Amino acid sequence: MPYFETRDGTSIRYKELGEGRPVILIHGWPLSADSWDPVMMAMADKGMRAIAYDRRGFGQSDHAPTGYDYDTFSDDLADLIAALGLEENIGLAGFSMGGGEIARYMSRHSGKGITAAALVSSVVPYMLKTDDNPDGVPQETFDEMTKGMKTDFRAFFTGFFKDFYGVGGPGTQVSDEERHWAWQTTMKSAQWATLQSAAAFATTDFRPDVPHITVPTLVIHGTEDKTVPIDATGRAVASQLENATLIEYENEPHAVFATVTDRLAGDLVDFFSKN
């Protein structure tokens, strides 16, 4: 697999499939670029150049000691774009915490080269419950997550992925093997990267970044998402963007890349074919 080097010397693994209009796919916490494989194949089949990369600290990228904040994450994205020589007509799709890279890139890097974006089960605009964000997730929930990861990192994620994939819920069910893959992938990440990245997506307020997302934007979110509640995120950001289209996946959980893979791939291909 190829790698590129970021401005702070971190080695980031990426992969690409197909030729044509470039679409960069940003994975969610705590997985890797491999979660995008079926979507990449669908895009390549439709004449697109699908690109995905492992966030620093995850997958096969360097376990960097620092840089687990959204300014650095967006700089890493900018460095990938520069390394690949991409200059225009770029699509971005971010799943879960990957939506944060999109929002911060659009503000911090002026959205250079981006002409369309997709936010899938995304944490944008703000996850944390506050007086002015009443639909968010209480701080106590994130505190419990941190405690669980520090107490027994491996056991915590066995339970976490049940909600992540909506086990026993009304949506589409995945195989035990899919959840095992997610657990195995997480175990390859750096524990400090996992903890610091969780703090980043839980507490970063992207509301100041949202006005900078001026390109056509597709928002996709499952109505039964227990990991990133739709009211505080998908519905909220869609209402704040003039050029947004919201598609709600009825009864689906957080991990729509696995529960409704074909539908997600089709919606993304259709969107990026037209925008």
Catalytic residue among 27, 189, 209, 254: 254
Catalytic residue among 62, 75, 225, 267: 225
21-26 vs 48-53, strand pairing mode: parallel
**Which pLDDT band, with edges at 50, 70 and 90, does 39 fall under?**
very high
Mean per-residue pLDDT of the chain: 98
Domains observed in the chain: 3-274 (3.40.50.1820)
Residue 225 is a catalytic residue? yes
Residue tagged 């991409």 (tokens): 86
Catalytic residue among 96, 121, 122, 189: 96
Mean of pLDDT values over 55-82: 98
- Whether the CB-CB separation of 204 and 96 falls below 8 Å is answered with no
Look up residue 29 and give its amino acid.
Answer: W
239 CB-near residues (< 8 Å, 6+ apart): none
pLDDT tens digit sequence for 22-37 = 999 999 999 999 999 9
pLDDT for 42 equals 98
Mean of pLDDT values over 66-82: 98
pLDDT tens digit sequence for 107-156 = 999 999 999 999 999 999 999 999 999 999 999 999 999 999 999 999 99
Angstrom distance (rounded) from CA 146 to CA 140: 10
Give bridge partners of residue 26 from the DSSP assignment.
53, 94
Does pLDDT of 92 surpass 90?
yes
pLDDT for 110 equals 98
Does pLDDT of 1 surpass 90?
no
pLDDT tens digit sequence for 209-233 = 999 999 999 999 999 999 999 999 9
- Region class of 262: left (phi > 0), else alpha (psi between -120 and 50), else beta: alpha
pTM: 0.98
pLDDT tens digit sequence for 154-194 = 999 999 999 999 999 999 999 999 999 999 999 999 999 99
Reference 91, options 76, 104, 106; nearest CA is 106
Angstrom distance (rounded) from CA 204 to CA 210: 12
SS (H, E, C) the chain: CCEEECCCCCEEEEEEECCCEEEEEECCCCCCHHHHHHHHHHHHHCCEEEEEECCCCCCCCCCCCCCCCHHHHHHHHHHHHHHCCCCCCEEEEEECCHHHHHHHHHHHCCCCCEEEEEEECCCCCCCECECCECCCECHHHHHHHHHHHHHCHHHHHHHHHHHHCCCCCCCCCCCHHHHHHHHHHHHCCCHHHHHHHHHHHHHCCCCCCHHHCCCCEEEEEECCCCCCCCCCCHHHHHHHCCCEEEEEECCCCCCHHHHCHHHHHHHHHHHHHHC
Mean of pLDDT values over 235-259: 98
Burial class (CB within 10 angstroms; exposed 0-12, middle 13-18, buried 19+) of 67: buried
